[in-house]
Amino acid sequence: MKKETFVTKEKLDEIIQQVPTPFHLYDEAGIRKNAQAMKEAFAWNKGFREYFAVKANPNPFLIDILKEYDCGCDCSSMTELMLAKAMGCAGERTMFSSNDTPPEEFQYAYDIDAIVNFDDITHIQCFEETVGTFPKTMSCRYNPGGLFKISNDIMDNPGDAKYGMTTEQLFESFRILKSKGVENFGIHAFLASNTVTNEYYPMLAKVLFEVAVKLQKETGAKIKFINLSGGVGIPYRPEQEPNDIRVIGEGVHKVYDEVLTAAGMGDVAIYTELGRFMMGPYGCLVTKAIHEKNTHKRYIGVDACAVNLMRPAMYGAYHHITVMGKENKPCDHMYDVTGSLCENNDKFAIDRMLPEIDMGDVLVIHDTGAHGFAMGYNYNGKLKSAEVLLKEDGSFSVIRRAETAADYFATLNDFPIYKKIIEG
């Protein structure tokens, strides 16, 4: 499938007049269309809710859009919980799916009435010792181990993953929690990251639905929801076929009827915790070509770097690149597209065929809406960029300002050197 930008060259030039490159740009229209499709795909399920994985993109303006489609927040840390609360998502609209959880985060999650999803059986005791009681609704994370084998470069096989409980532990946890007064239960599993197959969710659902039936029968625990978590991916490469969320929803529906409805459990809600699928394609990194270098290879240096988008450096991940205004020119030049870090893996593309690039050309690096800005670091003392929202009506607004030197040095502000640095 041809990968196209969601913004025109003219609009982008207009934005760049006001916001210096690099920056992440988000597509309100795309976010809405996809969120609506997501909602419709699971409309057959009465209690359905998507809990957006805040870690993928913790920008409140984007989460606000998703809220209009009834999305909640899937949080993994204290600050994400704080953000969810400030956004009015406290209570059952916040899922706390963490692992190796600091006890104080259990306390905070309890305080804001979030649904807590235990990663491990030992967390029951930790929670009890910390909080002193249990809420009425709790969830447990399941890891069936070698029983379910989907893998890619990023996610190990479930048996090698640090997440979740074994089957025995899951049953035992439900028994313990029930004995502690918990009334409603959820089951969660995350077995593969960024799958581009419509089969993943239905396959996972079948595993979880079957275990849910057994769990309810054997432990008497009332299953309120099943959380399919994340894992529905996006096509980063042009040759990849995108997932069809309608087909995925139908696939889950079929298994739901076969397993849950058949077992008299047709009132179980389906939850999801998608991040990449909800936001990935609807963000891009906008950057300018500032240097061309011809040595042992041919390089285009841009004004963004791994600080703005780490996935290529960390995972060798592919991100498609469009040279604005040259969409129809032949891709007859082979370039490495590099950032400025003193780190040789700071390359957005290696041996990529692109149209001939001139200095000042604007490059759009696709699919940075999830795990893009969010994974930013400050290596080499580089500053994180602004985030800009391209609205449905064609206007745009800055939804996060760029970092300044004062932000970067903030944790030295107890010392005289801070003032000296900032005042130059």
Residue among 78, 176, 196, 247 that touches a copy of itself (CB under 8 A): 78
| Residue 89 to residue 74: CA distance in whole angstroms | 10
Residue among 203, 286, 375, 390 that touches a copy of itself (CB under 8 A): 375
φ and ψ at residue 211, rounded to 5 degrees: -70, -30
Q: Which stretch binds a copy of itself (CB under 8 A): 10-18, 130-138, 162-170, 246-254?
A: 162-170
φ and ψ at residue 140, rounded to 5 degrees: -130, 145
Please list every residue from 286 through 305 that binds a copy of itself, using CB under 8 A: 290-293, 295-297, 299, 301-303, 305
Beta pairing partners, 272: 50
Q: Which of 57/198 has CB closer to a copy of itself? A: 57
Binding mask 309-338 for a copy of itself (x = CB under 8 A): -x--xx---------------------x-x
Q: Which of 314/331 has CB closer to a copy of itself? A: 314
Q: DSSP for 208-259?
A: HHHHHHHHHHHH--EEEEEE--S-B----STTSPPP-HHHHHHHHHHHIIII
φ and ψ at residue 243, rounded to 5 degrees: -65, 150
Please list every residue from 335 through 354 that binds a copy of itself, using CB under 8 A: 336, 338-342, 344, 346-347
| Residue 145 to residue 160: CA distance in whole angstroms | 8
Any contact of residue 402 with a copy of itself (CB under 8 A)?
yes
Shortest distance in whole angstroms from residue 155 CB to a copy of itself: 6
Shortest distance in whole angstroms from residue 79 CB to a copy of itself: 4
Please list every residue from 261 through 290 that binds a copy of itself, using CB under 8 A: 290
Please list every residue from 185 through 224 that binds a copy of itself, using CB under 8 A: none
Q: Which stretch binds a copy of itself (CB under 8 A): 131-139, 173-181, 207-215, 398-406?
A: 398-406
Q: Which of 10/423 has CB closer to a copy of itself? A: 423
Contacts of 424 (CB under 8 A, 6+ apart): none
Shortest distance in whole angstroms from residue 27 CB to a copy of itself: 20
User: Buried b vs exposed e over 367-398: b needs ≥16 C-beta within 10 Å?
Assistant: bbbbbbbbbbeeeeebebbbbbbbeeeeebee
Q: DSSP for 64-97?
A: HHHHTTT-EEEE-SHHHHHHHHHTT--GGGEEEE
| Residue 167 to residue 211: CA distance in whole angstroms | 8
Please list every residue from 82 through 141 that binds a copy of itself, using CB under 8 A: 82-83, 85-87, 97-103, 119-120, 122-123, 126
Radius of gyration of the chain (CA): 23
Please list every residue from 40 through 59 that binds a copy of itself, using CB under 8 A: 53-55, 58
For residue 47, give the nearest of 237, 259, 205, 271 by alpha carbon.
271
Q: How many residues bind a copy of itself (CB under 8 A)?
A: 97
Tokens of 398: 């800055």
Q: Which of 187/255 has CB closer to a copy of itself? A: 187
Shortest distance in whole angstroms from residue 36 CB to a copy of itself: 24
Q: Which of 36/415 has CB closer to a copy of itself? A: 415
Q: Which of 164/280 has CB closer to a copy of itself? A: 164
CB 424 within 8 A of CB 84: no
CB atoms inside a 10 Å sphere around CB 421: 15
Q: Which of 43/315 has CB closer to a copy of itself? A: 315
